Amino acid sequence: MRDFIAALPREGRWLLATVAIQLLGRGMTLPFTIIYLHEVRGFDLGVAGSLMGLIAIVGLIVTGPGGSLIDRYGARPVILGGLVCAIAGDVMLAFATTPVLAGAALCLLGIQAGVSWPAANALVATVVEGDLRQRYYGVNFALINLGIGVGGVIGGLFVDVARPETFTFAFLANAVTFTAPALVLLGPLRHVHGRAARPAADEPHAGASYASILRRPEVVWLVVIGVLLSTLGYGQIESGFPAYARQISEVSTRVVGFAFVANTAVIVLAQFWVMNRVSGRRRTRVLIATAVIWAVAWVVFGATGLMPGSIAAVVGVVAFQGLFFALGETLMQTAFPSLTNDMAPDHLRGRYNAINSASFQTGAIIGPVMAGFLLEHGRSTLFIAAMVVGCVGIAAGALRLERRITPAVNGLRTPLTQEPARQ
């Protein structure tokens, strides 16, 4: 860790310093927002669930325009705009007594969610280069999980439906944590705009639109892989996984909660080990490794349904989240953002990261719908089979992508990139 931090430029260290702080507040509220809306504010569960869906819907809508704004004005002002929306949304949500006010607050949070990922990745790509960039994305992912995990523990110990004011304080605390990155961007990093110079009009991709970018075969395969990764991964974490674990594997909610804790712990502890192992290797092969590990994970998880309520089911559920799935996540988050940003021309990083973000948000919408439909209709075996087949699709897509990108984009070191590392 010391070597990594020492190798980062000053701007990279400042950006990394705020990650865990920002996500600490998010972890305090994210698992409990629907409980707050339903049990504290008294909204019907269906209304509360629909309001929660606004975050993903609005996020998907604003991702495209956000990418264009990043390329035109730079990543820094877009991030700042998103942080202002997040602060306003959390303050509004803390005092929202009607569905309309809560919906408006969640829409503001959706705006921040939609622009923050592409803008942050694009900003990092302008200040961190080469193999160090890939390592940065891995460390960033570990810190995100650390912040959310610690925040979730704090929130679980603090918030209480019998004391509504605890939820108000939690949302206000979340708003305060968003000020940390804002102050860094307005202070030490006020000179970093995150905007690349536009090339001459006659150069390739000088004025590329989303339509022209999406006509590139390598981008199409990147989108396919992103949708599958999200559908089988994050799209199931808060839907298919807990539903199958409770209804089919018949484990307790405590076991489900412990599995999430184990997932966070493995990601935080294993990230550096994973980064060292994949550095200089083909990123597409890293994604294939992710697919293989996740396929094994889903098979193990599916087998817990054959022995419901048993110790073996408990072990299988925890192993799914805490070992197999977490290890696959560390591989994916080390390779996929770097692949996207090395593929993108400098002046189009906003759009490329927006496409990346939109593919993951699409999967996050498809995943819960698919899981809910299959499990509600008693198709648990088909659900597991669909997950395994999807993993095969990730591996196949990664192989197709590998044929269409250069070795440098795929993360292979050349003599020119190796030499500075030895100095």
| Region of poorest pLDDT, from 127-141, 189-203, 249-263, 273-287 | 189-203
Average the pLDDT over 191-212 and give the result: 65
- Where does the pLDDT of residue 236 fall: very low under 50, low under 70, confident under 90, or very high at 90 and above? confident
Residue 94: HSE in the Cβ half-sphere, 13 Å Cα cutoff: 20
pLDDT of 197 above 80 = no
Same domain for 225 and 177: no
Last residue of a domain, one of 123, 150, 185: 185
Angle between the N-to-C axes of helices 130-158 and 99-127, in degrees from 0 to 180, rounded to the nearest 10: 150
Number of domains present in the structure of the chain: 2
- Where does the pLDDT of residue 423 fall: very low under 50, low under 70, confident under 90, or very high at 90 and above? very low
Same domain for 233 and 153: no
Average the pLDDT over 350-366 and give the result: 88
Cα dihedral sign, 70-73-74-78: negative
- Asked if residue 154 is part of any domain, the answer here is yes
Same domain for 24 and 154: yes
Same domain for 55 and 163: yes
Residue-number span of the structural domain to which 233 is assigned? 209-412
Q: What is the CATH number of the domain that holds 366?
A: 1.20.1250.20
Same domain for 216 and 173: no
Predicted confidence at residue 194, as pLDDT, reads 66
- Asked if residue 231 is part of any domain, the answer here is yes
Same domain for 344 and 303: yes
Cα separation, 35 vs 40, whole angstroms:
7
- Asked if residue 369 is part of any domain, the answer here is yes
Residue pair 17/143 in contact by the 8 Å Cβ criterion: no
- Asked if residue 222 is part of any domain, the answer here is yes
Last residue of a domain, one of 127, 153, 185: 185
